[in-house]
Chain A
Amino acid sequence: MQQAHHAQGDALTLNTALVGRTYPPTSPYVVGREKVREFATAIGDANPAYHDVDAARALGYADVVAPPTFAFVIAYAGSSQAAMDPELGLDYSRVVHGEQRFAYSRPIVAGDSLVATATIEAIRAVAGNDILTTRVDLATEAGEHVVTTTTVIVARGTAEESA
């Protein structure tokens, strides 16, 4: 890891040259019906669209619908490519999740085969913390956009001091 800067203000330790870098698409993630049910159960959500194929079909979907935040599970592999990029210089042990956003073209449904493409959108330093914004586009293998996730992670105290 790089040494901490001791300059006044917000000295970046992350490599800002990586802003705009896009990583190769991940190998396809196949969304399983039982995985969707497992995730919905884990968040305690009994919405029939997540569990019951007939209920999902009555709403016009091909199979059970994944809860909105399930997209993060798939996108995580993509965003990790960016966060773990050795050229970036991020101390992952100090990272906390700062913000999360989803923009859907349509919900994820069981049977989707999705690839994740990550892009580093921004690198900032605020109050001694390094802040990394990564966008991940999830699309079908045929190229249909499904959802874009934007993740802001904060590396505490790495940009300047930690006193």
Chain B
Amino acid sequence: MSAVAVGTKLPAQTFRVSRFDLVRYAGASGDFNLIHWNERFAKSVGLPDVIAHGMFTMAEAARVVTDWLGDPGRLEEYSVRFTRPVPVADDDAGSVIEVSGEVTELLDGGRAKIMLTATHEGQKVLGNAWAIVRLP
């Protein structure tokens, strides 16, 4: 990774999220908010469907960075805004989140800033998503 420069692109990844994934994430994270698994409730509060946990989307987006780094402990800072929910229908296909990243700044101490883009059906689901990493 010695050739990292401003403009270096991280390998993009596509993540698929199904109702099964949301139930499993609810259990693992302890976030059992009804909007993430109960369609009846989600619609009653004006959502189009059950929506993915924002923290699930944030976790998936991080993988573009940590897979690139290898050692996840090289991630020093990570920040996102949740701009749009990811609805997850009760089907076998699930919903798709596409994540890409690009080095936008080289910092002192062998560190770099990475901007991330996460979209669902062409629309951004994370805003101002960035990470600061220690380069290997």
- Is A59 part of the contact surface with B, judged by Cβ < 8 Å? yes
**CB-CB contacts below 8 Å: A41-80 with B:** 41-45, 47, 49-50, 59-61, 65, 67-69, 72-73, 76
Interface string of A16-51 (1 = CB under 8 A from B): 000000000000000000010011011111010110
- Is A97 part of the contact surface with B, judged by Cβ < 8 Å? yes
Cβ–Cβ contact A98 & B15, under 8 A: no
Q: Which B residues lie within 8 Å of A41 (CB)?
A: 24, 28
Cβ–Cβ contact B77 & A67, under 8 A: no
Cβ–Cβ contact A45 & B55, under 8 A: no
Closest to B23 in A: A42
Cβ–Cβ contact B58 & A100, under 8 A: yes
Closest to A109 in B: B73
Cβ–Cβ contact A97 & B72, under 8 A: no
A67-B72, A68-B72, A106-B73 are known contacts. Are A101 and B78 too (CB-CB below 8 A)?
Answer: yes
Closest to B76 in A: A104
Other-chain residue from B29, B77, B81, B82 in contact with A104 (beta carbon distance below 8 A): B77
Q: Which A residues lie within 8 Å of B59 (CB)?
A: 43, 45, 67-69
Cβ–Cβ contact B15 & A44, under 8 A: yes
Q: Interface on chain A toward B: helix, strand, loop, or mixed SS?
A: mixed
Q: Which B residues lie within 8 Å of A106 (CB)?
A: 73
A interface residues, tally (CB under 8 Å): 33
* Closest chain B CB from A50 CB (angstroms): 7
Give Cα distance in the complex from A41 to B21, angstroms: 10
Cβ–Cβ contact B75 & A99, under 8 A: no
Other-chain residue from A43, A50, A72, A98 in contact with B81 (beta carbon distance below 8 A): A98
Give Cα distance in the complex from A2 to B118, angstroms: 37
Cβ–Cβ contact A61 & B73, under 8 A: yes
- Is B109 part of the contact surface with A, judged by Cβ < 8 Å? no
Give Cα distance in the complex from A148 to B47, angstroms: 31
Other-chain residue from B56, B66, B78, B82 in contact with A47 (beta carbon distance below 8 A): B66
- Is A127 part of the contact surface with B, judged by Cβ < 8 Å? no
- Is A96 part of the contact surface with B, judged by Cβ < 8 Å? yes
Give Cα distance in the complex from A128 to B56, angstroms: 27
Cβ–Cβ contact A43 & B60, under 8 A: yes
Interface string of B18-59 (1 = CB under 8 A from A): 000100110111110000000000000000000000111011
Cβ–Cβ contact B77 & A45, under 8 A: no
Cβ–Cβ contact B24 & A99, under 8 A: no
Give Cα distance in the complex from A146 to B118, angstroms: 27
* Closest chain B CB from A150 CB (angstroms): 8
Give Cα distance in the complex from A99 to B56, angstroms: 13
Other-chain residue from A61, A99, A150 in contact with B82 (beta carbon distance below 8 A): A99
Complex A-B: 9 CB contacts under 8 Å: A35-B28, A39-B28, A42-B24, A42-B27, A43-B25, A43-B56, A45-B66, A68-B62, A99-B79
